[in-house]
Amino acid sequence: MTALETGQLPQVSATHNPEPRNPGIPLDMDWVMRARANRSAIERRAATLPGRRSVKKEHQAAWLARAISCIDLTTLSGDDTPGRVLRLCTKARNPVRADILDTLGLPNLTTGAVCVYHDMIGDAVRALDGTGIPVAAVSTGFPAGLSPFHLRIAEIEESVKAGAEEIDIVISRRLVLRGDWQGLYDEMVAFRKACGPAHVKAILATGELGTLQNVARASLVCMMAGADFIKTSTGKESVNATLPVSLVMIRAIRDFYDRTGFRVGYKPAGGISKAKDAVTYLALIKEELGDRWLRPDLFRFGASSLLGDIERQLEHHVTGAYSASWRHPIG
């Protein structure tokens, strides 16, 4: 029986040692150019994942609760308002009905972070004051990343000043498409420096990178340049998080850890809205990277509507009945 089939989930210790931050390493072009991705093997492996009954029923609630603790609860709309952000933050603080959490023996559950545009940082920081839930801001001309470079740097600095503890930058896809790995490395080093103490997630926008080999190489270059997390997508590309892309990025993270000893986090984002998909991702992380990555400091979902479905599943777990999806609105 594999570890996955046991359904066992490692406990999150409040006192576990904080992970040393990835300081980055010099650009290693030999390593980058050796990175390959065998599409058919990766797609075969990815295809086996969703159909499996990966978690036993008695462990499901624990896995779903863990998924909640790893959500970057996100709103990234042109019509965002302080009121919507306030409601989102209220949900981040109390993601599931208290009576359900009491029944499950899971008090004090919160999401991993709240993720917003720059203009909403102040509202989110005030709404989350005293909770320990960090505010993440998308940055660098999100989602296209095509604004002038000095403005992208300034945007990061402004967001950190406004109280964002995590910055989700978008890379310049054209650097990857041209094979300008030095350019990508230099850009990422500059973004990481501008973040200062804030942790930086590098959004690769994998749906726009052309090949899985490019995804593998871009993942490595961003980690060499000091990314704390690598993230699949903005949620605005036509193809966002997928299991094949996740396998490639996760294996790059494993490779980077094996060679440098630094653990880099992983954030699939965009289009993940079902509880069963969240469990598939967690199971994949457990299999490929191990239990240490199943914590919010090394794994996040970027998702705007996943929480509602998980809440419904937890309610069903406790009461045996589903409530209507409109009873779990967010935003």
Ligand X SMILES: O=C[C@H](O)COP(=O)(O)O
Q: Just list the catalytic residues.
A: 168, 231, 267
Write the interaction track for ligand X spanning residues 112-141; mark x where CB under 6 A is met and - where it is not: ---x--------------------------
- Min dist. Cβ of residue 234 to ligand X (A): 6
- Min dist. Cβ of residue 124 to ligand X (A): 15
Positions in 139-198 near ligand X (CB under 6 A): none
DSSP character at residue 20:
P
305 binds ligand X (CB under 6 A): yes
Handedness of CA 283, 286, 291, 297 (dihedral sign): negative
What is the DSSP pairing of strand 166-170 with strand 301-303? unpaired
Chain residue whose CB lies nearest ligand X:
235
74 binds ligand X (CB under 6 A): yes
Query: Residues touching ligand X: how many (CB under 6 A)?
Result: 12
Write the interaction track for ligand X spanning residues 22-61; mark x where CB under 6 A is met and - where it is not: ----------------------------------------
Give every CB contact of residue 261 below 8 A, 6+ residues apart in sequence: none
Q: Give the strand order in the sheet containing 135-138.
A: 265-267, 229-231, 199-203, 166-170, 135-138, 113-116, 71-74, 301-303
Say if CB 128 and CB 114 are below 8 A apart: yes
Q: Which residue from 188, 303, 314, 330 is in contact with ligand X, where contact means CB under 6 A?
A: 303
Dist CA 151 CA 149 (whole Å): 5
Q: Which of 248, 250, 245, 261 is nearest to 294 (CA)?
A: 250
Q: Which residue from 304, 307, 314, 315 is in contact with ligand X, where contact means CB under 6 A?
A: 304
- Which residues in this chain contact ligand X in the complex, by CB under 6 A? 74, 76, 115, 234-235, 269-271, 302-305
